[in-house]
Chain A
Amino acid sequence: MAVGKRATDETGRASLVPLPRPQEPPPDDPRLSDVDEWGRSAHIREIARRAYAPMYEHWFRVEWEGLEKIPREGGALLVANHAGAIPSDAPVIMHGIETELGRPLYGLADYFFRTMPVVGTLWSRVGGVTAHPDNAYRLLHDQGQLALVFPEGTKGPSKSYTDRYRLRRFGRGGFVEIAMRSGVPIVPIAVVGAEESMPVLFRLSGLARLLGVPYIPVTANMLIFGPLGLTTYLPAKFRLRVLDPIHFDVEPSQERYSKSRVMEEAEAIRSSLQETLYDMLRERRSIWFG
């Protein structure tokens, strides 16, 4: 519409004379959307935030402890335990920190997200970034942002309900190496509630292999709500506890870090997170009311 109109305006009269090339580059505001270089869109994020707020406040009734330990400025890598067939913890943490602290948080997710049509694009628009060491370094070191990562990867949400709150292996300690290289602290967050919001009863591993996806869970939600169970969470009470930030006293921006040191730190973070989870579960009186 606007395109056709302007073209005739400009060239209507002198249609046979080639226009001289403009010498100066055009002003850089021909943008039509607000998608930034990471793929985030401010207005889609605003819509998502508004749509998710009731879920956060009334369904999961999220309560934070130690939110003040998360740095107000500068980069930091947040790590948390991961659970629920379609993890409910990532949006809870992201929504919580962005609304309570007023700071953007970038969720580092498995590359598998990107291969999914629609979902991958939406995930990227609301603030998801592929978990690649280069991306993390750029966010944390160059841009001083907050990033969230689940070191368990898909092993967390795919574990069955009988293994709830038992942390899986923390990858190969890559998250520690990233934090060291970026020169930022790691802030562990223990999440209670996600496991019960969508418990995994068993997995269809044959079908998953056939479709080339990491896992296909059969959840309690599916048995209760039928097909709706794919997207409906059980109203478990969410409690999150932020642990003390861990600073690494190493030179940033190195190519490599001592593997033994990295694994040691990763294991220390894993066990303190595990201990905190057990503490929180000891204090919890009810799954639904906390």
Chain B
Amino acid sequence: MARRVLITGLDTFWGGRMAEALEADPDVEVILGMGTREPRVPLERTEFVRADQTYSILSRIVRATQVDTIVHTFLVTDSTRASARAVHEINVIGTMNLLAAAGQAGTPVRQVVVKSSTLVYGASELDPAWFREQTPRSKPPATRIENSLLEVESLVRDFAEDNPATVVSVLRFANVLGPDIVTPITSNLSQPMCISIFGFDPLVQFVEETDVVRCLEHVTRHRVPGLYNVAGAGKIPWSEVAAMCGTRRLELPPVGTKAAAKVLELIGLLDMPPELEDLLRYGRGVDTTRIERTGFSCRYSTPGAVASFIGALRLRRSVGTTPPAYTYEQDVEQFFRHSPAVVRLGSDPTDMAEQ
């Protein structure tokens, strides 16, 4: 059956990647992407809709386009990227409007996929070595990102309860590493020195960026309902990650860590968002048995994800960052998609995918 998919955050890393992946799938008839800015990856048949970040317009779009699947990738999981207010607007209010649109009377939506993060588990000394999906976090959340993600997940839970006919998939991804993704962890590891806390060498877990997209695609394609942890196999100590990346560890004092990090931030040396401090003290691991039972497995293990990141890191160290190879031009894109002058190889989307 042909699918009609709406992706949020088309202009962000994950939205763009997800649209690329779905374009290759002949079963997906229509791909609609929402974003506040132009997409940053070349897309062939995805329609771009500019919308404000809280999606107040979404109900109308859903009604007009009759999409059957919404892939919600636009959740901020990095507090250095947005102010507290913006995080709340994007994560909580955005999700609220999105779910309201998906749950309106006579809704065409049959599946909602939400990209969450293992940040919802936090990191504390009371934690188990491996969190299962049903294990509650050990301590109440203290950072705004964690708070907002928990609120998002509770909104999604309520939605799933109220709409039992809709397939709701929530994926909690571990910290992502890969050639292209930029997070506080990758920027730390890219520098000659990375942050760590004296006397602590926590075990951390990563997922590779292509595995994130593969997993989103997997649950979308097979309409897998439920809540899942997604992470590469195994865990490795932070010191080893730093050594693999060829960066030295700058050891912050175990007492007054926040103050020390503040000083580093002020002189512009290193960035440590609050959610990273706990991770660098206690680490985090999640159990991925449940997602594996649905027939998905990550191609990269945790050390493999680090290795994948290192390759790109070495390249960047040698040649610097490359400018984006693609810029979105409204008129050009409209022309290619809709002009009668463009010769399309049949109307079958299969042919398009093969181009």
Contacts and interface: CB of A to CB of B under 8 A. Distances in A.
Interface of A: 2-4, 6-8, 10-12, 15-16, 18-19, 21-22, 25-26, 28-33, 35, 37-39, 111-112, 114-121, 129-130, 132-135, 138
A31 B132 contact: no
A86 B71 CA distance: 54
15 contacts: A4-B317, A15-B319, A16-B319, A25-B208, A28-B304, A29-B303, A30-B244, A31-B303, A32-B243, A33-B237, A33-B240, A37-B234, A132-B129, A134-B128, A135-B129
Interface stretch (B18-26, B145-153, B154-162, B198-206): B198-206
Nearest to B135: A134
Interface stretch (B89-97, B106-114, B165-173, B307-315): B307-315
B129 A134 contact: yes
A3 to B, nearest CB: 3
A135 B127 CA distance: 9
A32 B301 CA distance: 15
B81 to A, nearest CB: 25
A138 B130 contact: yes
A8 B243 contact: no
B301 A28 contact: yes
Given A4-B246, A11-B319, A134-B132, 20 more contacts: A4-B317, A7-B317, A15-B319, A18-B315, A22-B311, A25-B304, A28-B303, A30-B303, A30-B310, A32-B243, A32-B244, A33-B237, A35-B240, A37-B203, A39-B129, A39-B203, A121-B199, A121-B201, A132-B126, A132-B128
Interface string B213-233: 000000000000000000000
Contacts of A129: 129
A7 B318 contact: yes
B122 interface: no
Interface string B167-194: 0000000000001000000000000000
B235 interface: yes
Interface in B274-313: 282, 285, 299-301, 303-304, 306-308, 310-311
A8 B128 CA distance: 42
Contacts of A18: 315, 322
B352 interface: no
B348 to A, nearest CB: 27
A246 to B, nearest CB: 25
A19 B236 contact: no
A112 B308 CA distance: 35
Given A16-B319, A30-B303, A117-B200, A132 B285 contact: no
Nearest to B299: A25
A205 to B, nearest CB: 22
A135 B322 CA distance: 45
B198 A117 contact: yes
Contact of A35 (B198, B236, B306): B236
A11 B314 CA distance: 9
Contacts of A35: 203, 236-237, 240
B52 interface: no
B304 A26 contact: yes
Contacts of B199: 116-121
B129 A37 contact: yes
A114 B143 CA distance: 21
A59 B243 CA distance: 39
Contact of A26 (B125, B127, B308): B308
B254 interface: yes
Contacts of A26: 304, 307-308, 311
Interface in B237-285: 237, 239-240, 243-246, 254, 282, 285
Contacts of B308: 25-26
A29 B236 CA distance: 12
A138 B130 CA distance: 9
A142 to B, nearest CB: 9
A15 B318 CA distance: 7
A116 B282 CA distance: 11
A30 B235 contact: no
B304 A30 contact: yes
B315 A7 contact: yes
A30 B306 contact: yes
Contacts of B201: 121
B129 A111 contact: no
Interface string B12-31: 00000000000000000000
A22 B299 CA distance: 13
A134 to B, nearest CB: 4
Q: Which 7 A-B pairs have the closest CB atoms?
A: A117-B199, A3-B246, A134-B128, A7-B314, A118-B199, A114-B125, A132-B128
A7 B313 CA distance: 9
A120 B235 contact: no
A30 B245 CA distance: 11
A74 to B, nearest CB: 21
Contacts of B314: 3, 6-7, 10-11
A37 B127 contact: no
Contacts of B198: 117-118
Contacts of A138: 129-130
A29 B197 CA distance: 26
A120 B304 contact: no
